[in-house]
A = this chain, B = another copy of it.
Amino acid sequence: MSDSALTILLAHGSSDPLWLQPFFDLEQRIQARTKPVRLAFMELASPSLDDVIADARKNGFQRAVVLPLFFAAGRHLRIDVPRQIEQLTQQWQMDIQLLPPIGEHSLLSDAIVRIAGEAIDASHPSDHT
Interface residues of chain A, those whose CB is within 8 Å of chain B, are 3-5, 7, 9, 11, 14, 16, 18-23, 25-26, 29-30, 33, 35, 37, 63, 65, 67, 69, 71-75, 78, 97, 99, 102-105, 107-117, 119-120, 122-124, 126
Contact residues of A: prevailing secondary structure? helix
In whole angstroms, what is the CA distance A116 to B35 when docked? 11
- Residues from chain B with a CB closer than 8 A to the CB of A78 are 18
Contact with A116, one of B4, B37, B112 (Cβ below 8 angstroms): B37
Q: Which residue of B lies closest to A21 (CB)?
A: B72
In whole angstroms, what is the CA distance A18 to B75 when docked? 8
Contact with A26, one of B65, B105, B109, B123 (Cβ below 8 angstroms): B109
